[in-house]
Amino acid sequence: MEDSEWGSGSSLLHLLRSFPADSPFITETPDKPVNCSQRFWLPPSSAICWENIAGPEEFARSRLMVLQNRAALQAVSTSSGVEDGGISYEHQAREEVQGIQSDHQSVVETMQTMEKVFVSLEEKRKEGQRNLANTRGAIDGREQTANILEDHFSTLEKNLLNMQLRLNKLIQQ
């Protein structure tokens, strides 16, 4: 059948050749075999009277193939995350990766902040220990001073008592 026999619309070969190179709708040539893992058949884009091209049984089979192909395309589209007018699976994946990277950056910043807080707390703890050691030293020094003063007061008290006893003895004589 030649192109002119297909009717007033685009020919099937023209339709198949109009799809992009990565489309499953490509024609097979001797130097470029078709990937048969996915086989789709599409009607031409313009209206063609199918009854003139094929008999009723062949037309019914072709119609069934078109419906099966639509169902297969819908299944592929749904499983890949690509809906009519929706965003592509690749775009969704990129958004997810960006979200993960953003979350990772937030976690890194939080960890850095926590590390700064812990370093600051450690420095304050060490400073507190130094102040505590200084305070203990000051308390110990004051305790020693108090002990020395207590010893001096005790000695002074003994001396005063001795002097009072001597004065009493002198007065009584």
Q: What does pLDDT average to in each consecutive run of 10 residues of the chain (173 residues)?
A: 43 51 54 56 53 69 87 78 64 88 94 94 92 89 91 92 90 86
55 falls within a domain:
yes
63 falls within a domain:
yes
Q: Measured between alpha carbons, how far is 34 from 78 in angstroms, rounded to an integer?
A: 24
pLDDT at 144: 92
* Residues 80 and 138 reside in one and the same domain: no
What letter represents residue 66's amino acid? V
| Rama region for 7: left / alpha / beta (φ>0; ψ in -120 to 50; rest) | left
- Tokens for 125? 């703890």
Indicate the number of domains in the chain.
2
19 falls within a domain:
yes
pLDDT digits (tens, 9 = 90+) for 122-140: 999 999 999 988 898 889 8
DSSP-assigned letter for residue 34: -
pLDDT at 6: 42
73 falls within a domain:
yes
pLDDT at 100: 93
Task: Among 51, 68, 85, identify where a domain stops.
Answer: 85
50 falls within a domain:
yes
Task: Among 85, 111, 146, identify where a domain stops.
Answer: 85
Q: Measured between alpha carbons, how far is 37 from 83 in angstroms, rounded to an integer?
A: 22
Task: Among 85, 119, 149, identify where a domain stops.
Answer: 85
Cα distances (angstroms) measured from residue 148 to each of 40, 143, 151, 153, 162:
107, 9, 5, 9, 21
pLDDT at 31: 73
* Residues 64 and 137 reside in one and the same domain: no
What residues make up the domain containing 166? 129-173
170 falls within a domain:
yes
116 falls within a domain:
no
- Cβ proximity of 72 and 40 under 8 Å: yes
27 falls within a domain:
yes
